[in-house]
Amino acid sequence: MQIATRESLCLGLDDLLVVAREFLNSRLSSSGLHRMLQRRDVPTLAELAQQDVGDDENPRYKPFGGYEPGYVNIDIKHLPQMPDEEQKRYLYVAIDRTTRWECLEIRSSQSAEGARAFMKQAKEKAPSRPWRC
Give the model confidence (pLDDT) of 44-81 as tens digits. Answer: 877 777 765 555 555 555 555 566 777 788 889 888 88
pLDDT band at 130 (very low <50, low <70, confident <90, very high): low
* Same domain, residue pair 24 and 52: yes
pTM above 0.95, yes or no: no
Domain region containing 108:
66-125
Determine, yes or no, domain membership for 110. yes
pLDDT band at 90 (very low <50, low <70, confident <90, very high): very high
Determine, yes or no, domain membership for 131. no
Mean pLDDT in the chain? Answer: 78
Alpha carbon distances (Å) from 84 to 20, 53, 79, 89, 109: 30, 50, 14, 13, 18
What burial letters (b/e) apply to 115-133, b meaning 16+ CB within 10 Å? Answer: beebbeebeeebeeeeeee
